[in-house]
Amino acid sequence: MPIKLKDINPVVFNHNVGIGVDNPSTKLEVNGEVKCTTLTQTSDYRLKQNVSVMNNGLDKIMQLKVHTFNWKNDNLESVGFLAHEIQGIVPGSVYGEKDEMYEDINAPKYQSVNSNPIVAVLVAAVKELNLKVEALEQKLSKYEK
């Protein structure tokens, strides 16, 4: 039996739609699991400017703190980042500001994390590590002869 829209009680707030949230802060905000077969983000070069190769991925990764925690709403154990801690480290990975509030209704406007920029930094870091490994292997091969 299909679920009717009225059964999930969507909320519209400031032209944003929320499911399981009272004050959605983006076009669609869902409190709970979202399942889909594919999720993509636009990444076409024609939409970008000032493009350059990143060379300090490893430095950025070493600054990130990974935490274990439990979600307050269901006590589910998880691992991840605190949005405000990575905001200045990986540009474009965090939406919102720490402790931001909707002033008109005195409710929290929660930060969120986009993991795609973090993945890009991880790729840059792996490439940097690979160059270091290759340099060490080359030095080591001199001693093995």
Residue 101 sits in which domain range? Answer: 54-145
Residue 62 lies in a domain: yes
Phi-psi region of 136 (alpha: psi -120 to 50; beta: other; left: phi over 0): alpha
What's the pLDDT tens digit per position in 109-127? Answer: 999 999 999 999 999 999 9
Q: Are residues 26 and 58 in the same domain?
A: no
Task: Answer yes or no: is 47 within a domain.
Answer: no
User: 66 and 23, same structural domain?
Assistant: no
Is the domain of 13 the same as that of 60? no
45 assigned to some structural domain: no
The reply to whether 8 and 66 lie within a common domain is: no
Residues 121 and 64 in one domain: yes
* pLDDT tens-digit series, residues 78-87: 999 999 999 9
The residue behind tokens 């300090």 is 56
Do the domain assignments include residue 48? no
- Long-range Cβ contact pairs of 126-129 (< 8 A, separation 24 or more): 126/57, 127/57, 128/55, 128/57, 128/58, 129/58
Q: 85 and 130: one domain?
A: yes
Q: What is the value of pTM for the model shown? A: 0.78
Q: What is the residue-averaged pLDDT of the chain?
A: 89
Are residues 18 and 64 both part of a single domain?
no
- Give the confidence band of 71 by pLDDT, cuts at 50, 70, 90: very high
Residue 138 lies in a domain: yes
